[in-house]
């Protein structure tokens, strides 16, 4: 796990120059990146979600584009379109922001279902189809979509089919009081996120991300842990408080994320605790609670915790 450990250490150190606290948030973004997946980032405004994603792209030497979602955003605004050139009487492709490595889709639930669906092909197949022609996307293409959990007026909740395409749902919480004091002291010393490009950050070495991804594939998994992952996912399908359980894609995601967490801890073998740690961010957006569970005040995280406690841990 030499390259992965080097990657984690370097990214944590460099992001720590800009982002105060939010260690779990940073690590989950790293998991998404090394697993080659996508993530929904949920949190109230002002928690540095956009700044964190921009910083991650810069530290990892990845291309970055941002889409601010609104009700009138069209699919072509994301994927691009063919534009007629009068001087040559030919059409040329005007590439949209989807042609990048790290795509930040800000407030994805504020754009229409038609535009949300335009991301499905890009997320699943890493390609876009424009006027019948397929265009490949970067092998590092990653969608990080944010949404505000407290404002629902004028929004379009993501359908279950699209939510299932996201590897993780990351919840960003408020920093501690000590961390907020530290944030103020940084601003007093002259920190200004509007001058982001002037902040000195050291990018990753060439090929380090690819090597780290290959190392994750070398994490050993005992057959009993295969069964444990499947048992957790299948138990969500018959749990009394859940109306829609997790899909087989969720089991695959849980397996990959658990291996990444093991590798980030410097281990080349998987433990049940890695599976447990991966369960919340992997499953919380893939299950639907029954109305009576909502009335009782249960949350998806609480129900997933109950499922984890009910499934026997392999020895």
What stretches of the chain adopt beta strand conformation (E)?
39-42, 64-68, 80-85, 90-95, 102-106, 127-130, 133-136, 142-147, 168-171, 242-244, 288-289
What backbone phi and psi angles, to 5 degrees, belong to 123? -70, -40
pTM recorded for the entire structure: 0.91
Topology, domain 2-173: Rossmann fold (3.40.50)
Q: What is the pLDDT of residue 87?
A: 81
Residue % of the chain over a pLDDT of 70: 99
In the chain, where the domains are located: 2-173, 219-310
Topology, domain 219-310: Helicase, Ruva Protein; domain 3 (1.10.8)
- pLDDT tier for residue 41 given thresholds of 50, 70 and 90: very high
Instruction: Say whether pLDDT at 276 is over 80.
Output: yes
Instruction: Say whether pLDDT at 275 is over 80.
Output: yes
* DSSP type of residue 202: P
For the segment 85-89, the average pLDDT, to the nearest whole number, is: 82
Instruction: Say whether pLDDT at 258 is over 90.
Output: yes
Please give the Cα distance from 293 to 272 (Å, whole number).
Answer: 28
């Amino acid at each position: 796990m030499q390259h992965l450990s080097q990657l984690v250490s370097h990214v944590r150190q460099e992001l720590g120059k800009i982002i105060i606290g939010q260690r779990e948030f940073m690590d989950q973004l790293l998991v998404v990146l090394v697993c080659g997946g996508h993530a929904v980032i949920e949190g109230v405004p002002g928690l540095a979600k956009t700044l964190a994603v921009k910083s991650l792209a810069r530290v990892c030497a990845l291309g970055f584009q941002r889409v601010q979602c609104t009700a009138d955003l069209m699919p072509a605004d994301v994927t691009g379109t063919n534009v007629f050139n009068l001087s040559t009487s030919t059409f040329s492709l005007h590439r949209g922001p989807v042609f990048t490595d790290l795509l930040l889709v800000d407030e994805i639930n504020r754009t229409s279902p038609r535009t949300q669906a335009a991301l499905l092909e890009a997320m699943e197949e890493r390609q876009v189809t424009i006027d019948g022609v397929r265009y490949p996307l970067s092998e590092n293409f990653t969608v990080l979509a944010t949404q505000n959990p407290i404002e629902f007026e004028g929004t379009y909740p993501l359908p279950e089919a699209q939510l299932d395409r996201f590897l993780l749902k990351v919840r960003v919480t408020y920093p501690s009081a000590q961390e907020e004091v530290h944030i103020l002291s940084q601003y007093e010393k002259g920190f200004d996120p509007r001058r982001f490009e002037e902040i000195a950050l050291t990018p990753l070495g060439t090929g380090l991300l690819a090597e780290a991804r290959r190392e994750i594939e070398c994490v050993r998994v005992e057959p009993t842990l295969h069964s444990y992952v499947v048992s957790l996912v299948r138990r969500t399908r018959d749990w009394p408080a859940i109306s829609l359980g997790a899909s087989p894609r969720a089991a695959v995601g849980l397996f990959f994320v658990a291996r990444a967490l093991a590798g980030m801890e410097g281990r080349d073998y998987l433990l049940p605790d890695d599976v447990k740690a991966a369960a919340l961010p992997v499953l919380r957006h893939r299950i639907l609670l029954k109305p009576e569970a909502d009335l009782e005040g249960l949350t998806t995280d609480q129900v997933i915790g109950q499922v984890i406690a009910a499934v026997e841990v392999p020895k």
